[in-house]
Structure 1
Amino acid sequence: MDFELKILGSASAIPVLGRHPTAQVLTAGAAHYLIDCGEGTQWQMLALGVRPHHVRVIFISHLHGDHYFGLFGLLGTMHLQGRTQPLTIVGPPGLDEVLVTQTRVSHMHLSFAMTFVPIDTEVHAVVYEDECMTVATLPMRHRIPCAGYLFTEQPRRANLLKEKLPEGLTPAQLGRLAQGEDLPETATHPAVRHADVAGPAPAPRRYAFCSDTLYIPELAELVRGVDVLYHEATFLEELRERAAQTFHSTARQAASLGRDAAVGRLLIGHFSSRYKSMVPLLEEAQAVFPTAELALEGMVVQL
């Protein structure tokens, strides 16, 4: 199953020409999971080939505008395109009030069912699960209630080992083995146990999204060893006091968390508009986590 992340936007609150506020799409198979939805998200989806009707769930981290002002426009587009599949929206309490008010005053009667799942931003808890993914909240420390999200792939099946397969199995029999079934004895074949012809199952892939937050060293335990960690890095270390005042992190702090959590890959984003070039932010992060990367718009990360 494909498992990839697309960066739609990674700027912070103040608009900058050519840069968009926070939005990402995590894809598992044919399902899209939208993470935050700043202004212009649907335009970025169009530019990067993300189809709105494939979005299964939308996760909103908090109710600062640069993280959700694009949501109602996207819902309107889904409606105008005749969407019928149900949509789940996960986010802090209050978001449901905003959406109810917007639909009421605009007289927009959505063509699809919408379910809102309120979260407790102060706890680490599972808030969504389907056949592809389990999603848990990550408590952030921001000026308003805010949560990150930890996405964990459902356990994968073990791969069949060609050298251990008996000869002459039919496609149907191979398909049953691939699904984890055992084959009973037949007139032409002895019984075949799935465990005898399969290797170890691959470890579930994990992605952690850390939204706007103060540096939280203890968060390392919740995201330890994830394949990819995204962490906001609004400021350089020289503005560490400003970061603390606004409940944000520096590039060095983001990298420190990635290092301490022993993550496989670190992406930093949510860059302040004061930075015309993000190279200094990258260099500061790489001084602590040498392979750190900028979460630039259009970036595609395979997990």
Structure 2
Amino acid sequence: MTDHVALLGTKGGPAIRTGSTNPTSNLLCLSGQRVVVDCGLGVTRGLVDQGMALKDLDQIVITHLHSDHYLELGPLLHTAWVAGLKTPVTVHGPEGLAEYWTHFLASMQNDIAIRIEDEGRPDLAGLVHFKVVDPTRGFTIGPLTVRAMATLHPPVTCYAYRFESAGKSVVFSGDTSYMPEMAAFAAGADLLIHEAMLGEALPALMARIGNGDDRLMHHWLRAHTLAADAARIAAAAGVKALALNHLIPSDDPAFGEAEWQASIAADWSGPFYLGHDGMRIPL
């Protein structure tokens, strides 16, 4: 297994439309360890399309409890189970994920009970374990060391994560407003994957969504990062490559790669990846 990150879903926000990309999910492959980072809608198909056998799922990390980052956590685990999963899966993330899992199991209790009784499958509930992330302490996932940092994403708790092994490092910004401290957290990383939005495209996106008011625009502006600011962070951090992900918007034909490139040109001239679903970035 070569070291890489696969961007499975690259859209910011939970809605999908005809022709749009999927909400956020990623697969990190480093030092022989696979880690799913976020489980937005489409993560299960995204993993299969990357050639991963779902029965081999064992580590998941969640940045925060907005639906575009964990809506498909339960369905992924259930689908992995019916695909042959019989070994433990650990889910790392903020408080609240275990409660979500309890309610998911309750919603599927008839199906799960039938499959255990009728098909001889192991108890799904017993295979999944949750660990609440403490940003003051690092943790390990196999050969990987992981650090977390709380981001600025009101009104929910969100974490950025830095994964390191064998001299390589990858940073996922999570969702956050412009946060100069991210530069120190990402310092020297081989790859910074940072959320990004295009300010000039937001009014058209508001009109397209149609059922939000000024509070939605206020949320974007106080809880997310403009692409130019993400580029500024990458430059200050001295990272080797920058990928923009969780794109707001990702599906407006009036704003394509040229506009994203122009938005970062003043601050970043290094290797750059504009995320799209299924993109593999080598490490």
TM-score interval, normalised by the smaller of the two chains: 0.7 to 0.9
Is 1:149 aligned to residue 161 of structure 2?
yes
Selected match of 2:245 from 266, 269, 283: 269
User: Structure 1 pair 50/285, CA: closer, same or farther in 2 (3 Å)?
Assistant: farther
Is 1:88 aligned to residue 90 of structure 2?
yes
* CA distance, structure 2, for counterparts of residue 20 and residue 7 of structure 1: 10
Bigger radius of gyration: 1
Aligned to 1:281: 260
Selected match of 2:197 from 225, 231, 234: 234
SS at match of 1:77: helix
Selected match of 1:113 from 114, 121, 127: 127
Q: Deviations over 1:235-286 (max 9, x none)?
A: 3378698576341000001000000001000001111236333321232123
Aligned to 1:256: 232
RMSD: 2.2
Aligned residues: 251
SS at match of 2:58: strand
Q: Deviations over 1:134-161 (max 9, x none)?
A: 11112211021100110011xx4xxxxx
SS at match of 1:233: strand
* CA distance, structure 2, for counterparts of residue 209 and residue 60 of structure 1: 11
Q: Deviations over 1:170-214 (max 9, x none)?
A: xxxxxxxxxxxxxxxxxxxxxxxxxxxxxxxxxx10000001101
User: Structure 1 pair 101/111, CA: closer, same or farther in 2 (3 Å)?
Assistant: closer
TM-score, normalising length from structure 2?
A: 0.82
With 279-288 and 66-75 compared, the bigger mean Cα shift is at 279-288
For 1:30-179, list aligned pairs within 5 A: 30-107=32-109, 108=112, 109-110=123-124, 113-120=127-134, 123-126=135-138, 128-143=139-154, 144-153=156-165, 156=166
SS at match of 1:257: helix
Amino acid in the other structure paired with 1:9 = G
User: Structure 1 pair 252/132, CA: closer, same or farther in 2 (3 Å)?
Assistant: same
Is 1:300 aligned to residue 280 of structure 2?
yes
Amino acid in the other structure paired with 1:248 = H
* CA distance, structure 2, for counterparts of residue 98 and residue 76 of structure 1: 14
- Verify the 8 A CA contact 2:63 2:94 in the aligned structure 1: yes
Structure 1 or 2: larger helix share? 2
How far 1:53 sits from its partner (Å)? Answer: 2.5
How far 1:80 sits from its partner (Å)? Answer: 0.7
> Structure 2: where are the runs of 5+ without partners?
113-122, 204-216
* CA distance, structure 2, for counterparts of residue 94 and residue 130 of structure 1: 21
Amino acid in the other structure paired with 1:142 = H
* CA distance, structure 1, for counterparts of residue 218 and residue 229 of structure 2: 13
* CA distance, structure 1, for counterparts of residue 261 and residue 61 of structure 2: 27
For 1:211-222, list aligned pairs within 5 A: 211-222=174-185
User: Structure 1 pair 275/80, CA: closer, same or farther in 2 (3 Å)?
Assistant: same
SS at match of 2:99: helix
User: Structure 1 pair 104/243, CA: closer, same or farther in 2 (3 Å)?
Assistant: closer
Q: Which has the higher contact order (CA 8 A, sep 6+)?
A: 2
How far 1:32 sits from its partner (Å)? Answer: 1.2
